[in-house]
């Protein structure tokens, strides 16, 4: 369970108000899309919900832990044990091969069974390659595998298909949704693409730092069924 109560966050000593009184509840195992135009505060909301940054005001509780009371060291420990991250940029270590990049995630929680994740992301024949030898879609699949190798209870993705062309983007989204179904973690994906929101169960729509609508899709579309 993720609970945010009256969250405020600003930058530049309060001049740039980004999150303005955000409250929400996310159930365990839900697939949530945070949808909104560029600049609406989606990434900032993701960063405070996941413990990457502290909110200025309000209360955030994730898996019974009140993030807003934790110091930096405690927040790092919380993220290590609970959260997986996938960003638009890949942030893979260029000097390490695919297997070693994924092992970095696994080692954080001493998971020895990450071969299965490599396999399900279709990376088995790429494990000895370096990131520079992979396509964008393959690199993003390595990032997803690295995040899942940590066995997170919550996976956050910030525009994970934002740097990919349509065919590759659909492909990667399909992998993401299938992994969510297989493992059952809570998944929160940030996007500005309304079509992608149709794949989620819960859609949280943001505008100018506020939540303007929350709805659930009766039928969730697949990555192949949506427009792009």
Ligand X SMILES: Nc1ncnc2c1ncn2[C@@H]1O[C@H](COP(=O)(O)OP(=O)(O)O)[C@@H](O)[C@H]1O
Is 18 or 143 the residue whose CB approaches ligand X more closely? 18
For the CB of residue 158, give the shortest distance to Mg ion in the complex, in Å.
6
Query: Positive or negative, the Cα torsion across 84, 86, 87, 93?
Result: positive
For the CB of residue 196, give the shortest distance to ligand X in the complex, in Å.
14
The two three-digit tokens of residue 125, written as one number? 């024949």
Q: Which of 4, 7, 18, 67 binds ligand X (CB under 6 A)?
A: 18
| Residue indicated by tokens 């490599």 | 118
CA angle, residues 67, 15, 45, in degrees to nearest 5: 35
Q: Is 42 in the site for ligand X (CB under 6 A)?
A: yes
Three-state DSSP class for residue 108: helix
146 phi/psi in degrees, rounded to 5: -60, -40
CA angle, residues 228, 25, 185, in degrees to nearest 5: 65
The binding track of 19-38 with respect to ligand X, each residue x by CB under 6 A or -, is -----------------x-x
Q: Is 43 in the site for ligand X (CB under 6 A)?
A: yes
For residue 218, the partner it binds in Mg ion, ligand X, none, with Cβ less than 5 to 8 A by kind, is none
Among positions 9-68, residues that touch Mg ion (CB under 5 A) are 43
CB 179 within 8 Å of CB 148: yes
Q: Which of 1, 11, 27, 222 binds ligand X (CB under 6 A)?
A: 11
Residues at the site binding ligand X, with contacts judged by CB under 6 A: 11-12, 16, 18, 36, 38-44
**Residues that bind Mg ion in the complex, under the rule CB under 5 A:** 43
């Amino acid at each position: 369970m993720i609970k945010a109560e009256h969250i405020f966050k600003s930058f530049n000593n309060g001049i740039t108000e980004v999150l303005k009184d955000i409250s929400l509840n996310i159930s365990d195992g839900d697939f949530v899309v945070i949808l909104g135009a560029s600049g609406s505060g989606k990434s900032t909301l993701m960063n405070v919900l996941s413990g990457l940054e502290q909110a200025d005001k309000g209360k955030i509780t994730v898996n019974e832990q009140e993030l807003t009371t934790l110091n930096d060291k405690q927040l790092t420990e919380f993220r290590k044990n609970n959260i997986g991250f996938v960003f638009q940029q890949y942030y893979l270590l260029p000097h390490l091969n695919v297997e070693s990049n994924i092992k970095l995630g696994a080692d954080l929680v001493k998971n020895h069974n990450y071969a299965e994740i490599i396999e399900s992301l279709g990376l088995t024949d790429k494990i000895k390659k370096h990131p520079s030898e992979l396509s964008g879609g393959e690199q993003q699949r390595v990032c997803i595998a690295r995040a899942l190798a940590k066995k997170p209870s919550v996976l956050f993705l910030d525009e994970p298909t934002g740097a990919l062309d349509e065919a590759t983007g659909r492909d990667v989204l399909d992998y993401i949704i299938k992994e969510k179904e297989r493992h059952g973690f809570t998944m929160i994906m940030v996007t500005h693409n309304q079509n992608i929101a149709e794949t989620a169960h819960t859609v949280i729509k943001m505008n100018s730092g506020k939540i303007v609508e929350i709805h659930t899709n009766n039928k969730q579309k697949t990555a192949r069924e949506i427009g792009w």
